[in-house]
């Protein structure tokens, strides 16, 4: 394999929207790189006999095409960029050789000197992207990148390794999905972590900014699929904190809104581990807002109810007062409800809510992939199925949906 000399690399920002990118390997390196490639709009083919739960989740969402097998010659055909991320050095050599022969740029994760291209330590603040190579040294590049990104984000210039590091565990709410909606405090603590335990709905593009020496523990709980038990998550937080590492438990939304943060705080308290709680923007409020719908509005709704529908109405484990919600004139914000919409709609109508009550369902709220369906209580299940909406999604029930439509109409009229 070619060994490149000491010449400085020519830095280039690749516009990958719609272009095929091949990633070979389904482990932690691929898990770090795939979200950034998706953010760039790449059409990703992943070749690996197995994948991590986080990658499995992206595959289930249809965002990545998975070839469930080892690499074989010809896989590079049609690719604009190749990432060789396997744990087998011989396989990485073969992948890079094929890419080189076909004049396709290839990044080898296991050997920077034999790699035709390097993946920079990257970060983004608003419209400014930062990418650092540092001669192929990932730790040095990440340290410099952290300093630049932090200076852009909050006005400081200290690199991650120069900050006074907290101790114990931080329960950090990552917000509803858009990485820009995590709090400044949450972002600061994330940049100081030795260990990050990340949920499936945490803003995963932020994980790509982590230095390579940070241990990333995937706590993704894929619905009806693989998951890390809550008991094991609690044990990991305590074990790492007691070993002297600063642990960030990164969650989607807010840690204490259906985030089981209370359970984790109790586990740490029993073990004598100090805990920092960083509230996050809950999707229950943020996603309706991102879709232009206020959860309350003067003269329309003066209360709103946030409900987790992890079990359907009538289930023995359900503690939800569905009759009371049906009688209420307030806004209903339903989480984990998409797959039970037909039962929910039938229950609410049977208990007194009008079939004509407006309903909005928002998938991937605050993200570039956000999609919405507007219907009534009597038609929403059918329309959501026809549109192919999938979790994660928020269901908004109430007249405030009409307020959101009014806002959209006023905006449209003001456009010249």
Enumerate the active-site residues: 199, 221
Q: Indicate whether 384 belongs to any domain.
A: yes
Q: Indicate whether 102 belongs to any domain.
A: yes
CATH number assigned to the domain comprising residue 175? 3.40.1010.10
Cβ-contact 131, 22 below 8 angstroms: no
Out of 278, 295, 314, a domain closes at: 278
* Same domain (yes/no): 30, 93: yes
pLDDT value, residue 6: 64
pLDDT value, residue 222: 55
Q: Indicate whether 112 belongs to any domain.
A: yes
* Separation of alpha carbons 249 and 233, rounded Å: 9
* Same domain (yes/no): 299, 399: yes
pLDDT value, residue 221: 63
CATH number assigned to the domain comprising residue 63? 3.40.50.720
- Map residue 93 onto helix, strand or coil: helix
Classify residue 47 by its DSSP letter. E
Taking the CA atoms of the chain, what radius of gyration do you get in angstroms? 23
Q: Indicate whether 273 belongs to any domain.
A: yes
Cα distances (angstroms) measured from residue 356 to each of 180, 248, 374, 380:
36, 45, 12, 10
Q: What is the pTM of this model?
A: 0.70
Give residue-wise pLDDT tens across range 314-373. 999 999 999 999 999 899 999 999 999 999 999 999 999 999 999 999 999 999 999 999
Instruction: Using alpha carbons, select from 180, 190, 186, 174 the residue that is nearest to residue 126.
Output: 180
* Same domain (yes/no): 54, 104: yes
Q: Indicate whether 394 belongs to any domain.
A: yes
Q: Which residue has the tokens 């991102």?
A: 290
Structural domain containing residue 296: 284-406
Q: Indicate whether 8 belongs to any domain.
A: no
Please give the tally of structural domains in the chain. 3
Q: The tokens of 398 are what?
A: 């109430």
Out of 218, 253, 278, a domain closes at: 278
* Same domain (yes/no): 273, 291: no
* Separation of alpha carbons 154 and 150, rounded Å: 6
* Same domain (yes/no): 312, 359: yes
* Same domain (yes/no): 399, 288: yes
pLDDT along the chain (416 residues), means of 10: 64 91 95 91 96 91 93 96 96 96 95 88 77 81 84 52 74 94 88 91 85 87 66 95 96 93 96 97 95 94 94 92 93 95 96 95 94 96 95 95 87 72
CATH number assigned to the domain comprising residue 402? 3.30.950.10
Neighbour tally for 103: CB within 10 Å = 7
* Same domain (yes/no): 253, 328: no
Contacting residues for 88 by C-beta, under 8 A, at least 6 apart: none
* Burial grade of 390 (CB within 10 A; 0-12, 13-18, 19 or more): middle
pLDDT value, residue 293: 95
Beta bridge partners, 47, equal 24, 67
Q: Indicate whether 156 belongs to any domain.
A: no
* Same domain (yes/no): 352, 238: no
* Separation of alpha carbons 101 and 120, rounded Å: 24
* Separation of alpha carbons 220 and 200, rounded Å: 4
* Same domain (yes/no): 210, 263: yes
* Separation of alpha carbons 312 and 211, rounded Å: 42
* Separation of alpha carbons 106 and 104, rounded Å: 6
* Same domain (yes/no): 236, 262: yes
pLDDT value, residue 227: 72
Out of 102, 119, 136, a domain closes at: 119
């Amino acid at each position: 394999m070619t060994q490149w000399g000491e010449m400085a690399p020519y830095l280039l920002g690749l516009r990958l929207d719609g272009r095929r990118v091949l990633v070979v390997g389904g482990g932690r390196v691929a898990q770090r790189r795939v979200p950034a490639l998706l953010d760039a709009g790449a059409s990703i083919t992943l070749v690996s006999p197995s994948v991590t739960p986080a990658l499995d989740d992206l595959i289930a969402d249809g965002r990545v095409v998975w070839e469930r097998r080892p690499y074989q010659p010809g896989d590079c055909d049609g690719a604009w960029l190749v990432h060789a991320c396997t744990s087998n050095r011989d396989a990485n050599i073969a992948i890079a050789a094929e890419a080189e022969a076909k004049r396709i740029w290839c990044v080898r994760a296991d050997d920077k000197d034999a790699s035709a291209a390097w993946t920079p330590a990257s970060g983004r603040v608003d419209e400014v992207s930062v990418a650092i190579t540092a001669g192929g040294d990932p730790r040095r590049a990440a340290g410099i990148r952290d300093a630049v990104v932090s200076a852009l984000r909050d006005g400081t210039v200290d690199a991650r390794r120069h900050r006074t590091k907290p101790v114990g565990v931080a329960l950090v709410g990552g917000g509803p999905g858009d990485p820009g909606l995590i709090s400044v405090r949450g972002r600061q603590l994330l940049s100081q972590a030795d260990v990050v335990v990340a949920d499936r709905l945490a803003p995963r593009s932020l994980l790509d900014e982590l230095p390579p020496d940070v241990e990333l523990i995937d706590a993704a709980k894929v619905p009806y699929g693989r998951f890390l038990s809550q008991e094991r998550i609690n044990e990991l937080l305590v074990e790492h904190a007691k070993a002297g590492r600063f642990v960030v438990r990164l969650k989607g939304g807010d840690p204490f809104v259906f985030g089981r943060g209370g359970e984790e705080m109790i586990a740490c308290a029993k073990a004598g581990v100090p805990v920092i709680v960083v509230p996050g923007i809950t999707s229950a409020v943020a996603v309706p807002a991102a879709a232009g719908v206020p959860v309350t509005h003067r003269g329309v709704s003066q209360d709103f109810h946030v409900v987790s529908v992890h079990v359907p109405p009538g289930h023995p484990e359900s503690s939800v007062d569905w009759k009371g919600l049906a009688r209420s004139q307030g806004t209903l914000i339903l989480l984990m409800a998409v797959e039970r919409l037909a039962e929910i709609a039938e229950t609410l109508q049977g208990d007194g809510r009008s079939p004509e009550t407006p309903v909005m369902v928002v998938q991937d709220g605050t993200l570039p992939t956000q999609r919405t369906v507007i219907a009534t209580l009597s038609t929403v299940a059918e329309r959501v199925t026809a549109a192919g909406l999938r979790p994660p999604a928020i269901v908004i029930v109430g007249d405030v949906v009409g307020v959101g439509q009014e806002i959209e109409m006023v905006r449209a009229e003001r456009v010249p």
